[in-house]
Structure 1
Amino acid sequence: MKTEIWYKKIGTFETYLKGERALSSLTIRNYINDLAPLHQFMSDNQILKFNELSKNNLREYLSWLLTKGYVRPSVARKLSVLRSFLKWAKTVGEIKSNPLPKYGSMKTESRLPKFLSYKETNKLLNAPKNSNVFGIRDKAILEILYSGGLRVSELTNLNISNIRLNSGEIKVIGKGRKERMVLMGSTSQIALKHYLDYSRPILNKSQDTNALFLNKYGGRLTQRSVQQKVRNYSISSSITGDIHPHTLRHSFATHLLEGGADLRVVQELLGHSNPSTTQIYTHITSDQARKVYLNAHPRAKSKN
């Protein structure tokens, strides 16, 4: 497929993802990146149109991805994105029939979400220096991510008008433009108030933006910038592993369940439409409960 034709079709799909699906810019970029190898595969195999893709082509494509060094979870994600793309392509008439509807998903090993211990969480949240404009801002960001369990896209999209500081509530627009209220603890309220009173007025150079978290130029802070800050603070705190904003969301859910919160309440706070999405955290807390039981119960301890 010619490059200019590819980008034209993908651009139309991107518009659909942004408009009708209301996906975040980061999610859309990931979708487009996951489709990119298909362009090379089609070009290598002289497949000029999406309508020429067959079931055999797609089986070959999955095998081709594995030979290129993509791991199975990555291939499974690309298959999922391709399924969405072909479903859209059939709807708009790009293809006559979808070669994927009955094609099974690739099996991958189930991986539990990475989360921080209470000690690690405290180290991370206390990493920003509370003595300068950016440290005060970053402290508020980390506190809000953990206290409210926000996605990074939800955090960067926050406006001043979304904040109800006195009642400790934040109105969040989540996936699919679904609205929900998340809560702030007293520590995050204090951190946010400090940012609003001291740092934001200094950063707000244009005086006409409604964005809550601002960069050094006075513009809205980006998702990538927040991701980098979380990573840098985790490194400076000597926390091992690849730590990102979603790690704080995982930690938020896990710590709530460990503290006895009801699963359905956690589901609402996370903004999950499907309870099964939240259910994965119960596996983590079950493992933790087992460790506590084995270490604490007199009949559970091994006898030497």
Structure 2
Amino acid sequence: MAGPMENEMVLSESLNVTWGRKGNMDLLESWFMELKARGLSEKTVERYKRALSLFTRYFGRDPRGVDPKKAREFRRFLMSRGYSPRTINTVISALSNFFDFLMEEGFVDGNPFKQKGLRVKIPRSLPRPLSNSEISKIMSCIKRMKTKVAFELMLYSGLRVSEVVKLRKRDFEFSNGLVRIYVRGKGRKDRVTFLWNSKAIENLKKVLEEVGDEDRVFNFKEGNLKEIARRVSSKCGVKFSCHTLRHTFATNLVEMGMPLEYVQKLLGHSNPSTTQVYAEIRLKKIEEFILSLSNKREERSGVSLARED
């Protein structure tokens, strides 16, 4: 077993080893190219590389001795080192993908990471949306118009921060009081979403007047915008991140009665189960409404319909 590991997925020099050959190409490099050919984003490929780094530091340079039992031991090892369930599952997915590739190349006979129950259960938590007063506080703390518009696009159109920074002027189409936005999304999946908040549309028009058709609207990098959100959060006293803005957009749509499949399309979720968490928000609101009705009825009749804890 390799030595101690930090609690971050850091690339290891052991990735330079050669595990078999495919023509004149290292198998690892061949796998990375295969991932890119499938349309996976650079960020996803980088995560897979980090997962493989963890693997080589634990098992060494030869994957052929890894069986299902050792895969489970590896999972327990990651858990003992404090890795989050989500990170562990990302590592398992990456290694399962890698072993599928090794099987196709005839390098191994089986996939020890494709076994039932290997993934770690992730506790589901309902995202807390921002209130109107919190949104007002946040926006009042942002002085630069471009920054405000970037935040409004996440809040009122559900864009990811990585999508906002890629937007060009040509990606916006104004029609009938709303804006159609053509998004180059996660995993190279394109989609269309909309902006219909009148104040946000007004601010967007001001920003676009200063931008050429082929130019990017924002000069931020993804990390810059996240850091700005942290500073604004501290300044205005409202705990939020860029992703909180997107959560708020989705939650508000569901609470207004928009079907989940529509919300899924606007958010760009390829897996419907990712959007399903918002159904739980809707059920929670329904329960709160029913309990409020029962309390009103109790006041009138003296009989409680509320559930007992």
Query: In the alignment, residue 16 of structure 1 is paired with which amino acid?
Result: E
Residues 224-273 of structure 1: per-residue CA shift (max 9 Å, x gap): 22222222222222123xx3322222111111111121222212211223
CA offset digits 1:47-71 (Å, max 9, x no partner): x322332222212211211222224
Q: Is 1:20 the counterpart of 2:38 in the alignment?
A: yes
Cα distance, 1:113 vs structure 2:
4.5
After TM superposition, give the deviation of residue 177 of structure 1 in Å.
2.9
> For 1:140-190, what per-residue CA distance to the aligned partner results, in whole angstroms no more than 9, with x for missing partners?
100011111112222222222211145511111223433221101222211
Report if aligned partners of 1:112, 1:284 keep a CA contact under 8 Å in 2.
Answer: no
C-alpha change, 1:63 and 1:107, in structure 2 (3 Å) is: closer
Kindly tell me: are residues 126 and 289 of structure 1, through their superposed partners in 2, closer, same or farther at Cα, counting changes over 3 Å? farther
The match for 1:138 is 147
Structure 1 counterpart of 2:171, one-letter code: N
Alignment length, in residue pairs?
279
SS of corresponding position for 2:83: coil
Partner residue in 2 for 1:212: 217
Q: Which structure 1 residue ranges, 5 or more long, are not aligned? A: 130-134, 202-207, 215-220
Deviation at residue 296 of structure 1 after TM alignment:
4.9
* 1:42 paired residue among 46, 59, 63: 59
Structure 1 Cα separation of the partners of residues 130 and 293 of structure 2: 19
- Alignment-derived partner of residue 205 in structure 2: 193
User: CA 1:289–1:79 in structure 2 vs 1: closer, same or farther (change >3 Å)?
Assistant: same
Task: Give TM-score, length-normalised by structure 1.
Answer: 0.79
Tell me if 1:248 matches 2:245.
yes
> Could you tell me whether the CA contact under 8 Å between 1:10 and 1:32 is conserved in 2?
no
Measured in 2, the distance between the counterparts of 1:209 and 1:6 equals 43
Pair 79,113 (structure 1): closer, same or farther in 2 beyond 3 Å: farther
| 1:93 CA drift (Å) | 4.5
Q: What TM-score do the two structures reach when normalised by structure 2?
A: 0.78
1:222 Cα deviation from its structure 2 partner:
1.9
The residue type paired with residue 188 of structure 2 is: R
Equivalent position of 1:264 in the other structure? 261
**Structure-2 separation of matches of 1:72 and 1:260:** 32
Q: Report the Cα distance in structure 1 between the residues aligned to 2:253 and 2:245, rounded to whole angstroms.
A: 12
Q: Which stretch shows the higher mean deviation, 65-74 or 228-237?
A: 65-74
SS, match of residue 105 in structure 1? coil
Contact 1:293 1:300 in 2 (8 A): no
Letter in 2 for 1:212: V
| Distance 1:254-1:94 versus aligned 2 partners, 3 A rule | farther
Match of 2:23 in 1: none
1:82-126 deviation digits (Å, cap 9, x = unpaired): 222322333345534222223423342432242322232333334
Q: Deviations over 1:179-232 (max 9, x none)?
A: 22110122221121222235x57xxxxxx9622211xxxxxx322222222222
Structure 2 spans left out of the alignment, 5+ residues? 1-12, 20-25, 305-309
- Residues 100 and 35 of structure 1: is their aligned pair in 2 closer, same or farther, counting only changes over 3 Å? same
Are 1:79 and 2:98 matched, yes or no?
A: no
Aligned to 2:192: 181
| Aligned mates of 1:164, 1:109 — CA distance in 2 | 39
Shift of 1:18: 3.2
* Aligned partner of 1:293 among 283, 290, 293: 290
Same amino acid, percent of matched pairs: 27
Task: Identify the residue that residue 132 of structure 1 maps to in structure 2.
Answer: none
